[in-house]
Each structure stands twice: as C-alpha cells, then as structure tokens.
C-alpha cells in the first residue's frame, strides 16, 4: 500500500511539473530581385519579408531574429532566418561556441 501511495505522489508531481518552453524556428523564404536596384530597396524588401514571416509563419513573438544564410539564384534572393523567443535565446547564450566539439564514433 505504501508503494502505491509513493507512486501516486510521484505521478501527481510529474503531472504538475511544467517543462520549460523555448521556441526556436528556422524559416527559409525568398525575395524577387527583379525590381531591386540599390541597397535601400534591398533593405526595404528584406524588412517586408521578415515582417511577413513574423506575422504569417510563426505563432510567437521572437526576441532575436538572425539572418543565417543568403543566396541569389535565378533572380531570387533566398534567405534563411533563425528566430527564437527569450527562452530560446538563453539556449544560444548557454552554448559554449569557443569549445571544440568532441569527436564521436558513429557506427551504422
């Protein structure tokens, strides 16, 4: 009977515990380069694209937006955006980017 009580208590505590939620998303989108003639127009088009992604593609308010990759191909600028909320941003800050990764053996 005592084990049943302990199991019930452990189950209740597990049910009440809320995991930390961190939102991190990477979005790829593109911009037509046909009408872009100078840096100001490019900056404006890129800002409109980021605003569109923020309003239409994600369901949280990011605290950080990073442009991680850009490529021009066949008259379009393809951009990859990394977005994170405050908890997701903390995850990036906790990473030790100066540390060399340890080698790992992978066997298939």
Residue carrying the six token digits 């404006």: 44
Local confidence pLDDT in tens for the 108 residues of the chain: 666 666 665 666 566 555 667 888 899 999 999 988 988 999 999 999 999 999 998 888 899 898 888 899 999 999 999 999 888 888 777 665 666 666 666 554
**Domains located in the chain, CATH noted:** 18-94 (3.30.1490)
pLDDT at 108: 43
Torsional sign, CA 36, 42, 47, 53: positive
pLDDT at 29: 92
CB neighbourhood size of 81 (10 A)? 23
pLDDT at 5: 63
């Amino acid at each position: 009977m005592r084990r049943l009580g302990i199991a019930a208590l452990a189950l209740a505590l597990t049910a009440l515990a809320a995991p930390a939620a961190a939102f991190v998303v990477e979005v790829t989108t593109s911009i037509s380069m046909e009408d872009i003639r100078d840096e100001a127009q490019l900056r404006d088009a890129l800002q409109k694209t980021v605003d569109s992604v923020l309003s239409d593609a994600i369901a949280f308010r990011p605290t950080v937006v990073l442009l991680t990759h850009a490529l021009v191909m066949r008259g379009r600028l393809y951009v990859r955006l990394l977005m994170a909320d405050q908890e997701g941003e903390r995850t990036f800050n906790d990473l030790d980017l100066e540390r060399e990764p340890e080698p790992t053996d992978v066997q298939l």
